[in-house]
């Protein structure tokens, strides 16, 4: 049994991040693609290190160094929990190799443990990436004893345990409920989105500082923030106090609680693994097919319908790309409810919030477009569409059209809400519509461009493409980054030149989008495999 378990663990770990493919592939293009992917991940890691390190340095400058460990632990735990919900159900109870493994003389415990080890290692890497730069800055300026570094290492190792358990339970519940429904993917998507929205609303409903922060409050700010963290996620305070030397009781408590819960869940899933999988994957069919009139569609219409079906067939694809439009609509509704004047007064910036609303709206709506992974999502079925007598332009147009049709309803509602909230002039109304439209079109087109460069058709699970690929990172946030960049000049631009600046921005964005669109359509999709 131990030998089985070790073999399965080794197989699971060698498949993480495409390590096995990079080591043994004979395809030079694949080697180069993974090398480029490595550079992209290195760049993203540097950006994250800079952000987390800067956050820790800012807390030190505010004399709040003691809350840094607890703050980092809470951030890491929330990220692990949020990402775990998407992948826990599909990874632990994976249907892809269930039949082949269940037919082999392999124990249930070996299968379950190997899959949990893989999830734990992936979570541990994320926890290390989030916490290490902050702890390093804390250590450089505060210079704690050697024990603090050892405890920090121990904390990083155990931090993923509770988020892993919680995300697995919720992911399994969502998978289980949706499996009994007629429309499994849609049900799973709605449940996941509902849970995420509850988290978002809950985060906004935390205690707020009314009437600003007084001098007395500033003196006790560290204690207040620590209290907020404790109310939100008590284990973060337990582990944080252990690192800064305020007692080991919290660390021991976390080890006991997390170890007990993790062991209990592992025992339960191991005991009922085959039963759970059998009930999750069983299907039923109704023999009530009726012949109806066949309808014909244009090439683009047929490809567009195919894209829609492919999109809504993947819950992780939907939940990862629909969050931006939902957040954009909620943001517009919040501005309408609160009032633009109160928003302006609460932010306390020297320029008008209304002038930047088009860029803010565009930035939110262009988070994780579908086009940045739409080609990779074809997977091993891509040969089917390549073999059809259709042009590259028609295939890529269908993917862009699907993305736009997904965004359009949310964008229309957001525009109506902002128009009511801000009561813009005719010229401001033009920019409120035109600027986000230009940036959204750019985001959809550049998503295709990035995915053509970092195309990955040999994936094991959809989450590797949607959440962990270079294409999703670069293409998914390209529109948001451009929205920020084109908005920056308006901070310094004189009022008399703002309208001219907006016109130039729109012209440039539309021109670059058209150029990218032209080069994308010249690609030969037959070259991708």
Q: How many domains does the structure of the chain reveal?
A: 2
DSSP 414: H
pLDDT class of 205 with cuts at 50, 70, 90? very low
What are the tokens at 493?
Answer: 């631009």
Q: pLDDT tens digits for 472-520?
A: 878 878 888 899 899 888 888 887 788 888 999 999 999 999 999 999 9
| Higher pLDDT pick, 193 / 149 | 149
Q: Both 375 and 422 in a single domain?
A: yes
**Of 17, 9, 166, the residue nearest 84 (C-alpha):** 166
Of the chain, the percentage scoring pLDDT greater than 90 comes to 18
Nearest to 374 by CA among 289, 442, 283, 309: 309
C-beta separation of 404 from 321 below 8 A: no
Whether 311 and 383 share a structural domain: yes
> Which residues are CB-contacts of 448 (< 8 A; sequence separation ≥ 6)?
371, 372, 374, 375, 396, 399, 400, 475, 516, 520
SS (H, E, C) 394-411: HHHHHHHHHHHHHHHHHH
At residue 310 the predicted structure's pLDDT band, cuts being 50, 70 and 90, is confident
Instruction: Spell out the residues 6+ positions from residue 148 whose beta carbon is closer than 8 angstroms to its own.
Output: 139, 243, 244, 245
Distance from C-alpha of 437 to C-alpha of 518, rounded to nearest angstrom = 19
Per-residue pLDDT tens over the stretch 231-258: 878 888 888 888 888 778 888 989 998 8
Decide if pLDDT at 204 tops 80: no
Amino acid 365: pLDDT: 92
Quick one: 486 and 387 in the same domain? yes
Mean pLDDT across 309-322: 83
**Do 328 and 440 meet the contact criterion of CB atoms below 8 Å apart?**
no
DSSP three-state, residue 517 = helix
- Same domain for 368 and 252, yes or no, is no
Please compute the mean of the pLDDT values over residues 387-411 and round it to a whole number: 91
Supply the range of the domain harboring residue 259: 2-205+213-281
Q: Check if the beta carbon of residue 10 is closer than 8 Å to that of residue 443.
A: no
Residue 222 sits in the same domain as residue 356: no
Question: pLDDT tens for residues 73-84?
Answer: 988 888 888 777
Pull the structure tokens for residue 273: 């693994």
Alpha-carbon 220 to chain mean position: 34
Q: What is the pTM of this model?
A: 0.68
In a domain, residue 291? The reply is: no
pLDDT digits (tens, 9 = 90+) for 421-448: 888 889 989 999 999 999 999 999 999 9
Residues 353 and 407 in one domain: yes
362, 464: one domain: yes
* Residue 250, in any domain of the structure: yes
Please tell me whether residues 191 and 328 are part of one structural domain.
Answer: no
Same domain, 180 and 306: no
> pLDDT tens-digit profile of 446-484?
999 999 988 888 777 777 788 777 788 788 788 888 998
Do 276 and 151 have their domain in common?
yes
Between CA 269 and CA 119 the distance in angstroms is: 15
Task: List CB contacts of 485: < 8 A, sequence separation 6 or more.
Answer: none
DSSP string spanning 34-102?
A: HHHHHHHHHHHHHHHHHHHHHHHHHHHHTT-GGGHHHHHHHHHHHHHHHHHHHHHHHHHT-STTHHHHH
The pLDDT assigned to 213 comes to 45
Instruction: For residue 314, give the 3-state DSSP assignment.
Output: coil
Query: For tokens 């097919």, what's the residue?
Result: 289
Average pLDDT over residues 24-52: 73
Determine, yes or no, domain membership for 289.
Answer: no
Helices 146-158 and 68-92 sit at what angle, rounded to 10 degrees?
Answer: 30
User: Which tokens belong to 404?
Assistant: 């736009």
**Is residue 292 domain-resident?**
no
- C-alpha dihedral sign at 326, 332, 336, 338: positive
| Same structural domain, 138 and 255 | yes
CA distance 376 to 397: 16
pLDDT of residue 321: 86
Domain identity same for 365 and 258? no
- Report the C-alpha gap between 100 and 333 in whole angstroms: 50
CA torsion angle 297 301 306 309 (round to 10)? -100
Q: Give mean pLDDT, residues 22-45.
A: 71
Structure tokens at 73: 């632990």
Q: Note the pLDDT tens digit of each residue in 347-362.
A: 666 667 788 889 999 9
């Amino acid at each position: 049994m131990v030998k089985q378990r070790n073999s399965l663990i080794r197989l699971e770990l060698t498949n993480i991040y495409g390590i096995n493919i990079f080591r043994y592939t004979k395809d030079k293009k694949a080697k180069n693609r993974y090398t480029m992917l490595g550079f992209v991940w290195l760049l993203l890691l540097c950006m994250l290190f800079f952000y987390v390190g800067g956050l820790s340095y800012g807390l030190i400058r505010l004399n709040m160094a003691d809350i840094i460990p607890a703050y980092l632990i809470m951030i890491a735990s929330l990220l692990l929990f949020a990402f775990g919900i998407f992948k826990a159900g599909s990874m632990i109870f994976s249907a892809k190799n269930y039949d082949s493994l269940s037919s082999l003389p392999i124990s249930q415990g070996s299968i379950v443990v190997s899959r949990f080890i893989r999830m734990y290692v992936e979570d541990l890497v994320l926890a290390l990436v989030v916490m290490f730069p902050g702890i390093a800055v804390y250590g450089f300026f505060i210079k704690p004893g050697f024990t603090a570094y050892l405890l920090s290492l121990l904390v990083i190792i155990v931090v993923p345990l509770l988020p892993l358990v919680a995300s697995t339970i919720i992911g399994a519940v969502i998978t289980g409920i949706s499996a009994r429904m007629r429309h499994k993917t849609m049900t799973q998507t709605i449940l996941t989105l509902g849970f995420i929205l509850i988290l978002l609303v809950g985060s906004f409903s935390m205690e707020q500082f009314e009437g600003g922060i007084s001098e007395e409050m500033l003196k006790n700010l560290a204690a207040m923030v620590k209290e907020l963290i404790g109310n939100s996620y008590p284990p973060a305070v337990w582990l944080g106090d252990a690192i800064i030397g305020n007692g080991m009781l919290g660390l021991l408590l976390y080890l006991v609680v997390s170890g007990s819960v993790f062991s209990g869940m592992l025992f339960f899933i191991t005991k009922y693994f085959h039963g759970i999988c059998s009930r999750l994957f069983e299907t039923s069919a109704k023999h009530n097919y009726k012949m109806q009139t066949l309808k014909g569609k244009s090439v683009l219409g047929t490809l567009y319908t195919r894209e829609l079906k492919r999109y809504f067939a993947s819950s992780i694809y939907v939940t990862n790309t629909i969050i931006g439009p939902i957040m954009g609509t909620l943001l517009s509704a919040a501005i309408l409810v609160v009032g633009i004047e109160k928003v302006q007064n609460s932010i306390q910036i020297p320029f008008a919030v209304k002038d930047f609303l088009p860029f803010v709206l565009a930035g939110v709506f262009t988070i994780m477009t579908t086009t940045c992974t739409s080609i990779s999502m074809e997977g091993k079925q891509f040969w089917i569409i390549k073999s059809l007598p259709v042009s590259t332009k028609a295939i890529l147009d269908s993917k862009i059209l699907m993305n736009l049709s997904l965004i359009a309803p949310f964008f229309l509602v957001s525009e109506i809400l902002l128009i009511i909230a801000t009561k813009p002039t005719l010229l401001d109304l033009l920019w409120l519509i035109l600027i986000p439209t230009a940036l959204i079109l750019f985001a959809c087109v550049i998503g295709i461009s990035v995915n053509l460069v970092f195309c990955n058709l040999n994936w094991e699970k959809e989450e590797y493409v949607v959440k962990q690929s270079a294409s999703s990172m670069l293409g998914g946030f390209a529109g948001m980054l451009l929205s920020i960049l084109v908005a920056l000049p308006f901070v310094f631009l004189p009022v008399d030149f703002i309208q001219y600046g907006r016109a130039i921005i729109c012209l440039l964005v539309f021109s670059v989008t058209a150029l990218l669109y032209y080069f994308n359509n010249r690609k030969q999709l037959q070259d991708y495999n």
